[in-house]
Amino acid sequence: MPEKLWKGRNSERTAQIVESFTASIDDDKRLYRTIEKGRELHDLPLTEMQSFSARIQDDIYDHLRTHAVVKCRVGQGATGESAVQGAIAAAEKRLA
């Protein structure tokens, strides 16, 4: 594991939730550099995708499909189907 940026500032052990949250930062940086070069993730071969993280499996392409990506956007004002349906229902209620 790479040296932590906060080494020396805190003598206590890092909480597991923080370890879990920050575990993918290095993978994310490598992935971001690939995207910056104008490469589309869905065009990358599986072996290259796995070079970012060993956790990537062959189902990654299912998660990169446009419908799957949009469907995951569920927060207020998001474009996912459930969010849009909720916004429509709320607007209809206000207009009634």
Q: What is the pLDDT of residues 10-66, one digit of tens each?
A: 667 777 887 777 777 877 888 888 888 988 888 899 998 888 888 889 898 988 888
pLDDT for the residue 9:
66
The answer to whether 70 touches 80, Cβ cutoff 8 Å, is yes
Instruction: Please determine, for residue 91, whether its predicted confidence score (pLDDT) is greater than 70.
Output: yes
Instruction: Kindly tell me if the per-residue pLDDT of 6 is higher than 80.
Output: no
Q: Where are the domains of the chain?
A: 13-58, 65-96
Tell me phi and psi for residue 88, to 5 degrees: -65, -45
Higher local confidence (pLDDT), 74 or 7: 74
- Does the predicted TM-score (pTM) go above 0.85? no
**Cβ atoms within 10 Å of 80's Cβ, excluding its own:** 15
Instruction: Report the C-alpha dihedral over residues 64, 70, 74, 75, rounded to 10 degrees.
Output: 100
